[in-house]
Structure 1
Amino acid sequence: MKKKLKYLFLGLLSFVTYVVSEAATIEKELTYKKYTLTDSYKYGKATRSFQWEKISAHLDRLDSFQSHNVRFGSLKNYKNINGLPPVAKQIAMEKYSNGARPTVKDIYGHRRNQGIPLYVVGEMDRPERYAPDGSLVSIISRELEYYKVVVENIDGEWLIPARYVKEIEAKSFSKVVVVDRKNQNITTLEKVGDVWKVRSMNPASTGLDKPPYALPTPLGVFVIQSKKLKMEYLRDGSQTEIDGYAPYASRFSGGGYIHGVPVNLPRTEMIEYSQTLGTTPRSHMCVRNATSHAKYIYEWAEINKGLVIVIE
């Protein structure tokens, strides 16, 4: 049956319902109302938008994922703390014109560095592919050295060495942040009954693919893993020199945080907004927001209970 989109628009902050056949129902009911974008808007000569149909499909998949599973976890290998994974069966070396060291990825584009190895059952010699740090998984079973899991955004059942998996107490996930790399925007949604309520619609800037220091924001479904009121960052190329901080930082994958406008030293006071938000990727994997919106997410989405979905 063909999908039918019923779209009703009653004003920027008014009640809006999107219904897609076999997809989640989304209604607009904002609780953060600063810098709010319209559903579609101009950027230069192009038109950008919130991809509600795609977001609805992701939320429907998440609802189905939750309904069929009761034991959840997140994948952990920030800064390779649990070990650089073995080389996958099929890899691609990404080379760069700026002379940066080539990056090892699997054929699906997931990086080996800070990645988690996914093994096919019965084929434990080498991993088939990688999953990004922070990915949401459902746990099927636990053996002595391995978990059998389903990764939310990767089809199939996989074995993962136990050191890479952290079980979490959440039984369901009602607060989701959706980051759109293509349109450089961000929205927050909260499940109320059977409906996903849109809580905010804002401009954002995602990661720039310019290694070795700037990396793209990874695609996937991630668990918010930690938070920092002020996330200090180093000067590019330095191992020790602090260059500034990003306020209200919520980490979801590797070194990727959702945070406010960066503050470069010697300045110390927070910056509320930047005109570069919502334009082009310019972060170091992170997702930049207006500082008050980053604070909203920081206080709204709990660690191990809030999710981040990154789409293209």
Structure 2
Amino acid sequence: MRIYFRLSFLIFAAAIWSCNRNQQTETIDPAEQRKADSLETIRKAEEEARKRPRTADDIQLSKELSYDKHTLEETYPYQDTTRRFQLDKIKEKLAYVENFQRTPASYAILQNRKNKNREAPLVKNYHRNEYKLISDSLGTERYQAAPLYVVGETEAPTIYGRDGALAKLLTSDTLDMVQLEGVSFEGTWETPKRYVKAIGDSVTFHHIAFVDVTNQNILTAERTGDCEWVIRSMNPATSGVHKPPYAHETPLGIFVVQEKKNKMFYLKDGTNTIHGYAPYASRFTNGAYIHGIPTQSVNASIIEHSWSLGTTPRSHMCVRNASSHAKFVYDWAKTFNALVIVIE
């Protein structure tokens, strides 16, 4: 009898619950339901948009000059042709910078200026270039480079990584060999820790100098918000020329500003004699600096401008600027916190 009573009560309670639920369902305002569904759709769309990799179309690039001397227009005449700032390529690079910084990471820089961290071992496949220097299969020279090994293979490196190249540090830098995921280069590699400078997980790259070796100009851009960048300067520049045995072209790629010199003294070709200096020099890879007009004497006053700016490559890997613009970059681009991106 008790079992029968309990069963009857449960059936009765279930019927009441079902009736109430149906009444509640019937009383939902269709307009409110549509509104709720619409808000949920918007929320999901926004969530997907946040996850989607940024593209050049997402980049908002406006002009707010902080340095306004010797300024060039977006397109400008040069001899019998027209030169320009390649804003489409610049936006593509800015989207790349936005994307690699969206995931938290511990960053590191490859360093081996003048082989100070030891000459890199020979790669598996190498050749001598026109400068009679050993290079890997990609053309990166052994001198001043870091060796990059396939993960788990320590017999010989496969390629060289350029001094100043940016990477994400995947393992502790207390190990003899550290694992890196390239930002300036492709792939995941290992290298001895002596070639790596860890710069931490709190660094942000919101200041970028773009050097265009085709159009011989330089543009600086600063991040002001999500996918929002402003142009701080647009100026003529002179890049490095391929002219063995002394002058090298400015290498393409993404590099970190590593060192600054108020005066960068340079040697006369083929000698150990100091020939002069270049003011306000910011080094980004090997012996390549963004700097002002070189002098012909160590005691000379700073020269502001040169007719050769924005003409043809003629420097020794460096990027020559008007001296006041070099000072702007020197003050604006903080060491280990700014990038130099060289495009063609």
TM-score under structure 1 normalisation?
A: 0.88
**Offset of residue 191 of structure 1:** 0.3
Corresponding residue of 1:218: 251
The answer on whether the counterparts of 2:66 and 2:233 sit within 8 Å (CA) in structure 1 is: yes
Partner Cα separation in structure 2 for residue 180 and residue 114 of structure 1: 23
Corresponding residue of 1:128: 158
Q: Which runs of 5+ in 1 are unaligned?
A: 1-18, 96-100
Corresponding residue of 1:86: 121
The one-letter code of the counterpart of 1:298 is Y
Going from structure 1 to structure 2, the CA distance change for 1:130 and 1:67 (only over 3 Å counts) comes to same
**Offset of residue 226 of structure 1:** 1.0
The answer on whether the counterparts of 1:62 and 1:152 sit within 8 Å (CA) in structure 2 is: no
Partner Cα separation in structure 1 for residue 58 and residue 119 of structure 2: 38
Corresponding residue of 1:46: 81
**Equivalent residue of 2:327, what SS?**
helix
Could you say which structure has the higher helix fraction?
2
Partner Cα separation in structure 1 for residue 205 and residue 302 of structure 2: 31
**Equivalent residue of 2:329, what SS?**
helix
Q: Report the more deviating stretch, 192-201 or 168-177.
A: 168-177
**Offset of residue 267 of structure 1:** 5.7
The one-letter code of the counterpart of 2:83 is R
Corresponding residue of 1:188: 220
**Equivalent residue of 1:246, what SS?**
strand
The one-letter code of the counterpart of 1:281 is P
Partner Cα separation in structure 1 for residue 56 and residue 302 of structure 2: 44
The one-letter code of the counterpart of 2:225 is G
Equivalent residues in 2 for 1:222-261, closer than 5 Å: 222-239=255-272, 241-261=273-293
**Offset of residue 20 of structure 1:** 6.2
Matched, 1:155 2:190: no
Equivalent residues in 2 for 1:171-210, closer than 5 Å: 171-194=203-226, 195-210=228-243
**Offset of residue 69 of structure 1:** 3.7
Going from structure 1 to structure 2, the CA distance change for 1:121 and 1:184 (only over 3 Å counts) comes to same
Matched, 1:287 2:319: yes
Partner Cα separation in structure 2 for residue 89 and residue 67 of structure 1: 35
TM-score under structure 2 normalisation?
A: 0.80
Identity of aligned pairs, percent? 47
**Offset of residue 269 of structure 1:** 0.5
Residues 89-123 of structure 1 deviation map (CA, whole Å, 9 limit, x = unaligned): 2323223xxxxx51222222211111111111122
Going from structure 1 to structure 2, the CA distance change for 1:34 and 1:71 (only over 3 Å counts) comes to same
Partner Cα separation in structure 2 for residue 106 and residue 272 of structure 1: 39
**Equivalent residue of 1:263, what SS?**
coil
Partner Cα separation in structure 2 for residue 266 and residue 255 of structure 1: 19
Matched, 1:76 2:108: no
The answer on whether the counterparts of 1:23 and 1:59 sit within 8 Å (CA) in structure 2 is: no
Corresponding residue of 1:5: none
Residues 132-175 of structure 1 deviation map (CA, whole Å, 9 limit, x = unaligned): 10111111112621111122132211111100000114521110
Corresponding residue of 2:168: 138
Q: Report the more deviating stretch, 295-304 or 153-162.
A: 153-162
Which of 43, 62, 74 in structure 2 is aligned with 1:27?
Answer: 62
Partner Cα separation in structure 1 for residue 76 and residue 263 of structure 2: 32
**Offset of residue 23 of structure 1:** 4.8
The one-letter code of the counterpart of 2:187 is G
Corresponding residue of 2:139: 109
Residues 42-61 of structure 1 deviation map (CA, whole Å, 9 limit, x = unaligned): 22223221111111111111
Corresponding residue of 2:7: none
The answer on whether the counterparts of 1:20 and 1:53 sit within 8 Å (CA) in structure 2 is: no
**Equivalent residue of 1:119, what SS?**
strand
Q: Which runs of 5+ in 2 are unaligned?
A: 1-53
The answer on whether the counterparts of 2:277 and 2:294 sit within 8 Å (CA) in structure 1 is: yes
- When the two chains are superposed, the root-mean-square deviation of aligned CA atoms in Å is 1.6
Could you say which structure has the higher strand fraction?
1
The answer on whether the counterparts of 1:69 and 1:138 sit within 8 Å (CA) in structure 2 is: no
**Offset of residue 76 of structure 1:** 0.6
Partner Cα separation in structure 1 for residue 116 and residue 161 of structure 2: 15
